[in-house]
Structure formats: structure tokens, C-alpha cells
Amino acid sequence: MGLVDSEVFACIDCEMTGLDLENDRVIEVACALFKGEEVIETFDTLIDPGIPIPDASIKIHNITDLMVKGKPKIEEVIPQIASMVGKRIVVGHGIEGDIKILKASANRAGIPFIIGDRMIDTFRLSRLYGDSPTNSLNQLRQHFNIEAEGAHRALGDVIVNIQVFRFLAKKYKTTADLFHVLSKPILLKAMPLGKYKGRPFNELPLNFLQWAVRQQFDEDLLYSIKMELNKRRSSSTFNQSSNPFHNL
């Protein structure tokens, strides 16, 4: 019996009007409970955000103002999501972001959103896996030959995410093993974003690394940048100490 067969997990995904946690709003949310190969229960609904949906967002998920008109408000849906998830482990691609979105929505509405605090981020898990060209959910779907379920729509992404999790979790025997490896920073092989995207860290200019280490990047990226800087400092110190003329 594998890790995914050991208990019932929850998977969550939200679609938004944009990326701003304070000013943008949820327009779709989906949740599924699953164990092993079985999806036990699903819930998804469009949400009336109370604000216009920007054209840039519509191009991504194809959700229009007309589609969300008359749909539930987020405060009507949050209690149902919380009840469904309970204290289960929550899986998702960048799941902390989805949970922050739901908690911010609950706070604005003055209602609680109380679930367990154990989360498995398949985005970070894919970094540990390391064999996919990129770590986007769609790229992982293609890498593992998973059938498309409606990209950038909440329930479709949830169903794909569950299958991606099954592949990524195969090498771990227990959830404790998985949480242990995710508790530590992950050393990345290459720069995942920006003008040097895809380049190994040892090929990046020193001035770029010195700038990047001061940015608000995620824990894994900052750790990888710091490790590369430490390597270069160590190499420089070694070269100086091994050169009998370096103090002259």
C-alpha cells in the first residue's frame, strides 16, 4: 500500500480575478476528497466576486462576468469547504497561496475558515522530483501523460493535481517521510524565473546573485542562491590561501 492509499486527502484550487490578495477576488473554487485511485467526493462552484473580471484573467480561465452573475458569494461557500476538508491533509499546487486566498476572503466576510494546518505543496514536491522540464501543473500533466481536464478551471486542475500527486508521492512510504523532506529547503538545479530562467546557478553572474539574494523569493530559491554564493566565496578563499603571493 502506497502513501496515497494510506488516508483520505483533500485537494483545493481557486481561480481569481487577478493575483493581488487584497484587491482581487475568488471567482471559482473546487475541492475534492480522495484516497488511492478513488475520488470520493467533489465540490466546485463559480463565485460572484462582486467586481468586474479583467480581460487578462478571462483569457486565462475563460470565466466571464455573465457566467458568475447570480452565483454564490464566497462567504456562502467557505463554510462548506471548511466542513468538507476538516483536519485532513490538504494537497495543492502552490497550496499555501490558495489557503491564504480563502482565509483572506473569510476575514473580509467576518467568518471563520478553520481547517487543519498540514499541507503538501505539489509544486515543491515536483522540485524534489526534478525530472520535469518545468514544474507548472500543465507541464507535469504532460510529463506524466495525464489526460487534460480543463486547464485553468478549478475542478479540472484539482483532478489533474490529484493524479500528479500520485506520481510524485510514489517514492515516499509515509506522510511523515514526505513532510520531513518538505520541511527543509530544496536545492534547485537552475534558476526558475526571470531573464536567466533555466540557467544553472553556477552560470549566473555574481552581481545578479548578489541582487537576487536580497529579493523576496520563496524559501527554496533563496536557499539555492545562498548556496551558490557560499560556493563561490569558499572557492575564492581557497584560491587565495593556496596562492603564496596573494598577500603581496
Q: What is the pLDDT along the chain (248 residues), one digit of tens a residue?
A: 678 788 999 999 999 999 888 889 999 999 999 998 899 999 999 999 999 999 999 999 999 999 999 999 999 999 999 999 999 999 999 999 999 999 999 999 999 999 999 999 999 999 999 888 889 999 999 999 998 876 668 899 999 999 999 999 999 999 999 999 999 999 998 999 999 999 999 999 999 999 999 999 999 999 999 999 999 998 865 455 555 545 54
**Cell digits of residue 111:** 467568518
Would you please indicate which residues are annotated as catalytic (active-site) residues?
152
First-to-last C-alpha distance (Å) of the chain: 66
Q: Are 61 and 67 in contact (CB under 8 A)?
A: no
User: Range(s) for CATH 3.30.420.10 in the chain?
Assistant: 3-182
**Cell digits of residue 85:** 476538508
Half-sphere exposure (CA, 13 Å, Cβ side) for 171?
8
**Cell digits of residue 93:** 499546487
- Percent helix, strand, coil in the chain, to 5, is 45, 15, 40
**H or E segment to which residue 85 belongs:** helix 74-85
Q: What is the pTM of this model?
A: 0.88
CATH code of the domain made up of 3-182? 3.30.420.10
- What φ, ψ does residue 150 adopt, rounded to 5°? 100, 80
